[in-house]
Amino acid sequence: MQEQKFNPADWQDDLPEAFCEPQIQPSKRPLEAAPSNSNWTSSLESQIEEITRRIEVTGTDITATYEAWLRLGFALVEALGEGGRPYFHRLSRFYPGYSQQEADTQYNNCLKARGHGVTPKSFFQLAKENGISVSIRIPREENQLPSSDGTDGNEVLMETPAPEKMPTFSQELYGHLPDLLEAVARQANSDEDADVLLLGSIVAFSSCLPKVFGVYGGRQVYPNLFLFVTAPASAGKGRLSLCRRLVQPIHDQLRNMYKAEMEEYRIQKARYEHEKKKDYAAEPPEEPPLKMLIIPANSSATSVYQILNDNGGNALMFETEGDTLAKVFTSDYGDFSDGFRKAFHHEPISYTRRKDKEFVELLRPRLSTVLSGTPRQIASLIPDAENGLFSRFIFYYINFKLEWLDVFARIDGSTLDEIFDDIGWSFAHVYQDLEGMPEMEFRLTDAQQQAFNDYYRNTQTQLYGLFGDDIVASVRRLGLITFRIAMVFTALRCHDTGELSATLLCEDEDFESAMAIAKVLIQHTLRVYKELSSSDLTKPAAEGTRRRDQFYSALPNLFTTQSFKEMATRLHIPGATAERYISSWCKQGLITRIKQGNYEKTIQ
Q: What's the pLDDT at 581?
A: 82
For residue 85, pLDDT beyond 80: yes
Mean pLDDT to the nearest integer, 62-79: 84
pLDDT at 149: 39
Give, in order, the Cα–Cα distances in Å from 36 to each of 5, 156, 476, 520: 7, 13, 58, 48
Longest distance between any two alpha carbons in the chain, whole Å: 109
What's the pLDDT at 175? 92
- Given a cut of 60, whether residue 225 has pLDDT beyond it is yes
> 27 falls in which pLDDT band (50, 70, 90)?
very low
Question: Confidence band (pLDDT; 50, 70, 90) for 422?
Answer: very high
pLDDT digits (tens, 9 = 90+) for 440-452: 999 999 999 999 9
Question: What does the buried/exposed string (b/e) look like for 500-516 if buried means 16 or more CB atoms within 10 Å of the residue's CB?
Answer: beeebebbeebbbbbbb
Q: How confident is the model at residue 355, as a pLDDT?
A: 61
Position 37 scores a pLDDT of: 35
Give me the mean pLDDT over the 227-256 stretch: 88
Q: How much is the pLDDT for 69?
A: 86
Please check the confidence at residue 31 and state whether its pLDDT lies above 50: no
Q: Which of 178-187, 344-353, 576-585 has the highest mean pLDDT?
A: 178-187
Spatial separation of the C-alpha atoms in residues 578 and 522, rounded to whole Å: 35
What's the confidence (pLDDT) of residue 430? 93
In CATH terms, 170-247+293-534 corresponds, of 3.40.50.300, 3.40.228.10, 2.170.140.10, 1.10.420.10, to 3.40.50.300
Band of residue 43 on the pLDDT scale cut at 50, 70, 90 = confident
| Mean pLDDT, rounded, for 467-471 | 79
Checking if the pLDDT of 163 tops 70, the result is: no
pLDDT tens-place string over residues 291-316: 999 998 888 888 888 888 889 889 99
Read off the pLDDT band of 160 (50, 70, 90): very low
Asked whether the predicted pLDDT for residue 484 surpasses 60, the reply is yes
**Structure confidence at residue 255 (pLDDT):** 93
Looking from the CA of 96 toward its CB, the CA atoms found within 13 Å total 13
Q: Which residue has the higher pLDDT, 371 or 159?
A: 371
pLDDT-based confidence at residue 564 (cuts at 50, 70, 90): confident
pLDDT at 482: 97
- The DSSP letter of residue 213 is E
CA atoms within 13 A on the CB side of 261: 14
* pLDDT over 60 at 188, yes or no: yes
Confidence (pLDDT) at 136: 63
* pLDDT band, residue 410 (cuts 50/70/90): low
> Residue 67 pLDDT > 80, yes or no?
no
Predicted confidence band at 512 (pLDDT cuts at 50, 70, 90)?
Answer: very high
Q: Does residue 76 have a pLDDT over 80? A: yes
pLDDT value, residue 537: 36
| Count of CB atoms situated within 10 Å of the CB of 57 | 9
- What pLDDT, on a 0 to 100 scale, did the predictor assign at position 529? 86
Mean pLDDT of the chain: 79
What share of the chain has pLDDT > 90, as a percent? Answer: 34
Phi and psi (nearest 5°) for 66? -65, -35
Band of residue 195 on the pLDDT scale cut at 50, 70, 90? very high
Lowest mean per-residue pLDDT among 3-17, 49-63, 106-120, 580-594 = 3-17
What is the mean pLDDT of the segment spanning 524-544? Answer: 61
Of 48-57, 199-208, 226-235, 277-286, give the range with the top mean pLDDT: 199-208
Checking if the pLDDT of 534 tops 50, the result is: yes
What's the rounded Cα separation, in Å, for the pair 566 and 578?
A: 10
Q: Which of 324-338, 438-452, 527-541 has the highest mean pLDDT?
A: 438-452
Q: Are 88 and 109 a contacting pair, CB within 8 Å?
A: no
User: pTM of the entire structure?
Assistant: 0.64
Among the listed ranges 3-7, 213-217, 490-494, which one has the minimum average pLDDT value? Answer: 3-7
In this prediction, residue 61 carries a pLDDT of 85
Which of 232, 441, 211 lies closest to 312, judged by CA? 211
Choice between 260 and 122, residue whose per-residue pLDDT is larger: 260
Whether pLDDT at 201 is above 60: yes
How many C-alpha atoms does 59 have within 13 Å on its Cβ side?
A: 4
Question: What sign does the CA torsion over 401, 407, 410, 415 have?
Answer: positive
Q: How far apart are CA 574 and CA 565, in angstroms?
A: 9
- Confidence check: pLDDT of 467 > 70: yes
Confidence of residue 164 (pLDDT cuts 50, 70, 90): low
Domain positions in the chain are: 8-157, 170-247+293-534, 555-601
- What's the rounded Cα separation, in Å, for the pair 348 and 560? 50
pLDDT interval class at 333 (50, 70, 90) = low
In this predicted structure, the answer to whether residue 159 has a pLDDT above a threshold of 50 is no
pLDDT band per the 50, 70, 90 thresholds, residue 231 = confident
- What pLDDT score does 353 carry? 67
Q: Which residue has the higher pLDDT, 399 or 82?
A: 82
Can you tell me the mean pLDDT for 347-353? 81
Per-residue pLDDT, 585: 80
What pLDDT band is residue 334 in, cutting at 50, 70 and 90? low
Rounded CA-CA distance 475/521 in Å is 10
C-alpha–C-alpha distance, residues 598 and 564, integer Å: 10
Among residues of the chain, what percentage have pLDDT more than 70? 79
